Amino acid sequence: MPAKPSEDKPDKKTGGQGFAFKKPQPKLKVSETVEEKLARLENEVAVSKVTDSPSSALPSPVVSAKTVAAVSPASASQLSFMHNPRWNMSVFWLLVFFSVFLSNVPGIHFLLTPVNQFVTMVHEMGHVLVTIFTGGHVDFMTVVSDGQGHGGLTGTHGGWRLFSVQAGYIGTTLFGCLLIYLGQYPRLSKALLSGLGVAMITSSLMFMAPGLLSAHFFESIGSLLWGLGMGAFCFYLGRKLQAAWANFVVLFLAVQTALSSLALTWSLFPHALGLAGGGFSDATLMAEMVPLTLPIFWVFLWIAISIVMLFLTLKHTYGAAFMKKRISKKL
């Protein structure tokens, strides 16, 4: 229905020539000062911006203020904390520093036994996965010492041994690089820990339990207990820890795995030169398979590959900020 046109009555004071004024508008509020406006904008930005990107890309997507306001103040504070890329990067490099420093302190190695068993399991799983993917079969897997200088053993037959034998040391470095990359995303840490736990429990039952029927009975019992225990603990941490602490655990495992991959490969030097140990190693197995090569050649090759992988990973993750600063200074 069309609106009825307004009938403007003549203004008595103007002799019928003018029109009455309309209803007066409310008075405008006094505008805020420039300082107050800047302060208000800064507060809005501080509340609404929550980073969710790798540490190498400090400018990040934002989460709306409505999302932050929908959670409690404590949850909002934790959300902002866990997605801070600078804080995430600082924690990573602090863990690197303390890991290198504490590795030379007597007695600390004993305290890191669970981490060493975790790295050993990663090493042996490298052999297992490549053997299976190349059509081979796994007979058994252990992650405890056999008393002959081996931290773990994997019995296989079939597959491409040229690749499966190398997958131990190279695979450990590759897995460490993967954890470093995923450590940039704190919101994935809880799911990552839970997934690691399930993977370790499944791998223990599939590849360690069959060793109970082999000549490696005692090593298989110890390995099975370690595998199931580590898997259950990782799964528990993934379910119970807050996201920020879960991210801390992921970064710790990433640093330990990456550093241990280099340390374990370096430990092959005296063995490859015949200065320590008389048994076999991955390097001696490769020298037997590939004519005209020595174990020391494979040790050098694996160290070089590991260093390149770690360099490229850090270049695109936690080392990107330092490299950008150096480039900007040169320019």
pLDDT in tens, 56-113: 443 333 344 444 444 445 444 554 555 567 788 889 999 998 888 877 777 777 778 8
Give me the residue spans of the domains in the chain: 89-330
pTM beyond 0.85: the answer is no
Q: Measured between alpha carbons, how far is 58 from 50 in angstroms, rounded to an integer?
A: 11
pLDDT band (50, 70, 90) for residue 35: low
Instruction: Determine the pLDDT at residue 53.
Output: 43
What tokens does 243 get? Answer: 């996201």
What tokens does 93 get? Answer: 């490099």
Give the 3-state secondary structure of residue 246. Answer: helix
Question: Is 214's pLDDT higher than 60?
Answer: yes
> Is the distance from CB of 141 to CB of 133 less than 8 angstroms?
no
Q: Measured between alpha carbons, how far is 315 from 54 in angstroms, rounded to an integer?
A: 12
Q: Measured between alpha carbons, how far is 225 from 204 in angstroms, rounded to an integer?
A: 9
What tokens does 253 get? Answer: 């495992």
Q: What is the mean pLDDT of the chain?
A: 79
What tokens does 12 get? Answer: 């008595």
Q: Measured between alpha carbons, how far is 179 from 242 in angstroms, rounded to an integer?
A: 18
DSSP string, 21-86: --PPPPPPPPPPPHHHHHHHHHHHHHHH----S-TT--S-----HHHHHTS-HHHHHHHHHHT-HH
Q: What are the CA-CA distances from residue 305 to residues 53, 194, 298, 301, 302 (Å)?
A: 28, 30, 10, 6, 5
> Residues 114-134: what's their mean pLDDT?
95
